[in-house]
Amino acid sequence: MADQPPVARGPKRGRRITACAQCQKRKKKCDRRWPCNHCRKRNLAHECEYEGKMAPRPEAHVPDQIVQDSSPESTSASAAVTSLGYISDPMFKTITTAAQPDDAIGLPGPALEASRAVPPRPYADILVQNFFDHVNHHYCVLYKPSFQASYELWWSRRRDASSQCTASTIAATSLILRVCANSIQFLPVDAQARLEEDLGETVASLGQRYHTAANTLGDLIPPGLAGLVNSQQLFLGATWLKAEANFVDSWHMLAVSVRQAQEIAVFNRPTIISSGPVPYPSSTLDLSGRSLDAPSAALAKILENQLGRVLSGSDLTNQTLEE
């Protein structure tokens, strides 16, 4: 009996992990989506990871092999497994600041649907124009020439799959969705009727859909990436919530936007102000004699206005030049 060779045993069956790493750590019940309900509420979508892997099978690929294999079959399998949330880092390897190769893994299911939520070009153009006509001046969030250039570039690369997984493109898509959502809140009645008739949804439903899609895409961007565009889209998300009277969520999203701006050092003084040789302007009028009694520029403007009113004969409401 002792001379008999040991019996060969087959590979152990892998056990499905029913919770993400954060839910396991906090002993929470995970809904096994990406991001899960708890990570989404805590704004930790970038930490929602499923670390478990299934044992290799003849008809299936190991997740590492899916990532390394560039064949169409493995790419489709990777996208399917990614959408189920079984790979520990399914999309953060694809989110970079540079363009990905043609065989890069696409966005997972929910994010892919969110990226397709942008309305067709004619309706998007109407909403963008309405945004700059009736919305942007409230907060002056966007500079129209630079946004228009980015907007045209985004549409020119709309069908380029290699650029859809970059952080900058995801942030640009989110920004366009935010612009559309905010614009719908200020659409004229005739434009609302046309939009509802052509797209088959109410304007309230469209605005909510654009806002939700932008949130889904925004959760994919790690903190500090995508620069000012990411901060702008978060700020517009806060303004949309404010207009919907959802003040608590608006306050939280505004805080996230501020943190994003701090990540890219927006609060720092420009170099030309901090260390540049350009002198500060004088607070007094530039007089040849440099008189000590020279008024400030603001006071000189007030005196000029008062003199003009005296010469025109209008009432000064008991104010005189001596005062």
DSSP string, 40-97: HHTT-GGG------PPP-TTS--HHHHHH--SHHHHHHHHHHHHHT-SSSTTTTT--S
pLDDT at position 175: 94
pLDDT at position 27: 80
pLDDT at position 306: 86
How far apart are the C-alpha atoms of 179 and 183, rounded to whole Å?
6
Mean pLDDT check: name the lowest of 19-23, 54-58, 149-153, 280-284. Answer: 54-58
pLDDT at position 93: 42
Which is higher by pLDDT, 209 or 290?
209
Mean pLDDT of 46-50: 73
**289 exposure class (CB count in 10 Å sphere: 0-12, 13-18, 19+):** exposed
Position 219 confidence tier, pLDDT thresholds 50, 70, 90:
confident
Mean pLDDT of 282-303: 66
Is the confidence at residue 236, as pLDDT, over 90? yes
pLDDT at position 289: 54
Mean pLDDT check: name the lowest of 163-167, 171-175, 251-255. Answer: 163-167
Mean pLDDT check: name the lowest of 198-202, 203-207, 307-311. Answer: 307-311
Which is higher by pLDDT, 85 or 165?
165
Mean pLDDT of 97-120: 61
Is the confidence at residue 59, as pLDDT, over 60? no
CA 191, 192, 195, 197 torsion: positive or negative?
negative
pLDDT at position 181: 95
Q: What is the signed CA dihedral for 50, 55, 56, 59, rounded to 10 degrees?
A: -90
Per-domain boundaries in the chain: 21-112, 117-263
pLDDT at position 21: 82
Q: Give DSSP secondary structure letters for 258-321.
A: HHHHHHTTTTSPPHHHHT-SPPPPPSB---TT--TTPPBHHHHHHHHHHHHHHHHT---TT--S
Q: What is the mean pLDDT of the chain?
A: 73
pLDDT at position 114: 79
Judge if pTM exceeds 0.85: no
Sequence-ordered list of residues with C-beta below 8 angstroms from that of 187, at least 6 positions apart, any chain: 127, 130, 195, 203
**210 exposure class (CB count in 10 Å sphere: 0-12, 13-18, 19+):** buried
- The percent of residues in the chain predicted with pLDDT above 90, rounded, is 29
pLDDT digits (tens, 9 = 90+) for 266-285: 777 665 555 556 566 665 55
How far apart are the C-alpha atoms of 114 and 178, rounded to whole Å?
12
pLDDT digits (tens, 9 = 90+) for 32-43: 777 788 787 776
pLDDT digits (tens, 9 = 90+) for 240-249: 999 999 999 9
Q: Give DSSP secondary structure letters for 162-180.
A: GGTTSHHHHHHHHHHHHHH
Mean pLDDT check: name the lowest of 37-51, 77-91, 299-313. Answer: 77-91
Mean pLDDT of 306-317: 73
Altogether, the residues listed in the chain come to a count of: 323
